[in-house]
Structure 1
Amino acid sequence: MELALDAVEARHPAARPGHAPALRGLTLRLGAGEAAAVIGPSGAGKTTLLHVAAAALPPSGGTLALGGQAPWALSPRALRALRGQLFLAPQVPPLPPRQRVVTAVLAARLPSLGLARSLRSLFYPDDIPGAWAALERFDLGDKLFERVDRLSGGERQRVGLARALLSPASLWLVDEPLSALDPTRAAQAVSALVDGARERGATLLATLHQVDVALAHFPRIIGLRDGALAFDLPAAQVTPERLRALYAQHEHELLGAPPVAEAPAATAAPAVMHCR
């Protein structure tokens, strides 16, 4: 699915009046089947971009087109049908805690099922081999029948990504999928995600804090800062100088380290009084 934003402005629903927009005049295009990573410091507008692209947040200015359609000009029924072609994976996957992993993964297919099959699938999973194959690509095949609330945070994140492989969507929008993963698992998960999108011919747009992972696995890198486009380049052209400019005053995020806390001011030793 093609994605096109033209001079888009967007505000967070909870933003106070007069607050700067989260996206400022953003123009961006992804062709069908492209894969791109969005990087930038905290507060750059990365998550807002995904919510706009998912037709979950209407732009306050500019235009959005998904597969050549303007979602906010569609009827409610047509908008629901369009959203069925989108897969939005938030940083914390919305997985019911008491549900089995197999059911949670197969739920990605619900937009393409009728009501009767959707209800039946909640109690009688109809493609256990397909669910296992999707999970196995994220090294989670042995968790097929575990309950979600017995998984670690990193395992839940990978279950959320495995859902994309079973989704009928042609546009995958993935928000910070690696926050709970160690470097080895992060590289494996991104590789499985990028490969899965390519095999399906799906368009993939992912936000990442891990700049090294983005550069290693995505052919196209989009840099956002203060809601505006800083650069849109092939990964090979994203130089250290560009990265330092993008993360100026946020160097700890570029280096993957927590911010250095300011040392507390020295205090005088308390006076000790001796009574005789």
Structure 2
Amino acid sequence: MNREAPIFELKNVSQKFGSFESLTDINLQIGAGDRVALVGPSGAGKSTLIGLLNGTLLPSKGEVCVLGRNLAHLRPKLRRQLQRQIGTIYQQFHLVDNLRVIHNVNAGHLGKWSFFKAAVSLMWPLEIETAAKALTQVGIAEKLFERTDRLSGGQQQRVAIARVLVQNPAAILADEPISSLDPERSREIMDLLRQLSQGTGKTLVTSLHAIEFARSHYQRIIGLRQGRILFDTPPEKLTSTTIEQLYKT
């Protein structure tokens, strides 16, 4: 991992929601090209950490630096520009069901398109070749003009990934991307995310409940329990005892 120029760096970060502290004293660096899995029980703070990394949350305490910039110190316009370098995939897909696939994929351009260009593209799709290339990368090129609500859950998640590819960020965050998928589709999506990270060199950070995928698809596993980092280790050093400690009731 490149410690000299981390994509993400958290320094003594805590995050509160009212009186509830979701994360406590988090110190973390994630470098360019790293594949990192965040694991832990529900409520451990995984989604909160994803929100801090993509700038949708600002920390209650401490510093979150993305690409060397402290998000809390940036004016809103500059913060939005930096956020465009971070693509996020969600478990709910965040697609517009009644639009065709190409329009959902083209949403990856919205950070750099003008309002007029975005509106025109809803009537006459633009950047068709770019969208087709992204859909080819995720294995559903033939769905380019299909209505999104006619796709399976696994196909819709591929559309969401294609949207991030069009965005072309420096890093990809995936927040429980397989929680609503069956085992076969889950493996397909995990294989795809690993393949895309390896093929493009993009940083990949994924929150997961499935320890087996964390072990098989990631270079580094971070265990969160009650808002704190319990371990940060390569998969080959993760023991069954440590896993039991992570999930003990």
TM above 0.5, yes or no, is yes
The separation in 2 between residues aligned to 1:219 and 1:18, in whole angstroms, is 35
Q: How much has 1:199 moved relative to structure 2?
A: 2.8
Q: CA RMSD in A?
A: 1.8
The separation in 1 between residues aligned to 2:139 and 2:76, in whole angstroms, is 39
Q: Which residue of 2 aligns with 1:5?
A: 10
SS of the aligned residue for 2:27 comes to: strand
The separation in 1 between residues aligned to 2:106 and 2:194, in whole angstroms, is 20
Q: How much has 1:245 moved relative to structure 2?
A: 1.2
| Aligned counterparts, 1:232-243, within 5 A | 232-243=232-243
Identity %: 36
The separation in 2 between residues aligned to 1:241 and 1:138, in whole angstroms, is 37
Q: Which residue of 2 aligns with 1:209?
A: 209
1:37 aligns with 2:42: no
Report runs of 4+ in structure 1 exceeding 6 Å deviation: none
Counting strand residues as a fraction of each chain, which structure ranks higher? 2
The separation in 1 between residues aligned to 2:47 and 2:176, in whole angstroms, is 9
Q: Which residue of 2 aligns with 1:245?
A: 245
**Residues paired across the two proteins, number:** 244
Q: Could you say if the C-alpha distance between residues 86 and 223 of structure 1 is closer, same or farther in structure 2, counting changes exceeding 3 Å?
A: same
Q: How much has 1:116 moved relative to structure 2?
A: 4.0
Which stretch shows the higher mean deviation, 173-182 or 22-31?
173-182
Q: How much has 1:79 moved relative to structure 2?
A: 1.1
Q: What TM-score do the two structures reach when normalised by structure 2? A: 0.90
Q: What TM-score do the two structures reach when normalised by structure 1? A: 0.82
The separation in 2 between residues aligned to 1:182 and 1:239, in whole angstroms, is 27
SS of the aligned residue for 1:112 comes to: coil
CA contact (8 A) 1:86 1:172 kept: yes
CA contact (8 A) 1:221 1:234 kept: yes
Letter in 2 for 1:4: E
Q: How much has 1:241 moved relative to structure 2?
A: 1.5
The separation in 2 between residues aligned to 1:248 and 1:49, in whole angstroms, is 21
Letter in 2 for 1:18: S
1:134-171 alpha-carbon deviations (Å, 9 max, x no partner): 33444433322221222233332232122222222112
SS of the aligned residue for 2:110 comes to: helix
Q: Which has the larger radius of gyration?
A: 1
| Aligned counterparts, 1:1-276, within 5 A | 2-12=7-17, 17-19=18-20, 21-249=21-249
Which stretch shows the higher mean deviation, 238-247 or 145-154?
145-154
CA contact (8 A) 2:14 2:23 kept: yes
The separation in 1 between residues aligned to 2:188 and 2:138, in whole angstroms, is 7
CA contact (8 A) 2:63 2:72 kept: no
Q: Which residue of 2 aligns with 1:266?
A: none
Structure 2 gaps of 5+ residues are 1-5
The separation in 1 between residues aligned to 2:38 and 2:227, in whole angstroms, is 12
